[in-house]
Amino acid sequence: MPPNSDPDHFKIRLPQEGDTDFDQDEEWFEFEVNGKRHKSRIHEYENLYRVQGLYEALLYEKLKCCSPTKVVDLLATVLPDWPISVNDLRVLDLGAGNGIAGEIIWNLGAEKVVGLDLIPEAKTATERDRPGAYADYFVADLTKLTDDDANALREHDLNCLLTVATLGFGDIPPLVFANAFNLISETGWLAMTIKEDFLDQQDRSGFSRLIRSLIAHHIVEPQAHHRYCHRVSITGERLFYIALIGRKTQHIPHELVEEAEQGASAAFETSADAAMSTLIGNAAMSTLIGEVVSV
């Protein structure tokens, strides 16, 4: 952790009871820097990254986030069953933020980690707080990738996509996820976490449809998944996510992305729902018995 990552250092204040009727992506907090009070939504990440230690103080110390460790540890338990080790991984960290997850997998022994985020403050914070953890870091929109960036990303010969707690809120749309997924090798690995609500059969958002589609079409073959408490909300509610490790079998066809964004047929929804129902059911059971579910 960088210096000054103690919540008391920033005099962090969360909303009081009666002022908390909003969704997770609307959560806000107040903090103090150089004697001045500031207010920000938690998901306005650029505000947090600008102040060294603030992101860690709020999310990891105050709200007890554990997702990066959870998903990297889960990946490490799966790989010994395959002819690949952590040392062979060339990781694309999608929505890398200020580098917490990337640093964890790099410290575990990954061959290289490449970061990608939409906001420049994320790269600046990573270079400030975690120098050396990333072989490269791109600030780019994967829906409008320049030829130079596309070629530079391909030169890294990536074989693992890591994305932690960034999926489902609109931070990473279906097309962005698909383009990142297609940057890694066709026999690569997916290590991701996602809020369990976004995998519910009642969720008909584009991203939820895309994930269900990938599993139903065996483009992603789940190898292990685990339901866990990602962090607590500003009201103290436990927010449950699912960590998923999967093997990639092929690139995502563009028509699947279009189907996810525009809406799928009833027949497809039924098939996708069945695949996801099994996944979520097993993940929920894993929480009850304290085990990781291997598929």
* Residue 285 pLDDT: 41
* Residue 19 pLDDT: 62
Q: What is the distance between the alpha carbons of residues 218 and 229, in angstroms, rounded to a whole number?
A: 27
Write down the mean pLDDT value for the chain: 87
Q: How far is residue 92 CA from its own chain's centroid? A: 11
* Residue 288 pLDDT: 39
* Residue 289 pLDDT: 38
AA letter at 245: I
Q: How far lies 163's CA from each of 8, 37, 64, 99, 250, in Å?
A: 30, 32, 19, 11, 18
Q: What is the distance between the alpha carbons of residues 59 and 44, in angstroms, rounded to a whole number?
A: 13
* Residue 206 pLDDT: 72
AA letter at 276: M
**Which domains, ranges and CATH numbers included, belong to the chain?**
7-62 (no CATH), 67-294 (3.40.50.150)
Average pLDDT on 230-235 reads 91
Q: What is the distance between the alpha carbons of residues 226 and 242, in angstroms, rounded to a whole number?
A: 6
Residue 186 has pLDDT above 90, yes or no: yes
Residue 83 has pLDDT above 60, yes or no: yes
* 143 phi/psi in degrees, rounded to 5: -90, -10
Average pLDDT on 169-175 reads 71
Which one, of 281, 254, 256, 272, lies nearest residue 203 by Cα? 272
* Residue 281 pLDDT: 53
* Residue 137 pLDDT: 98
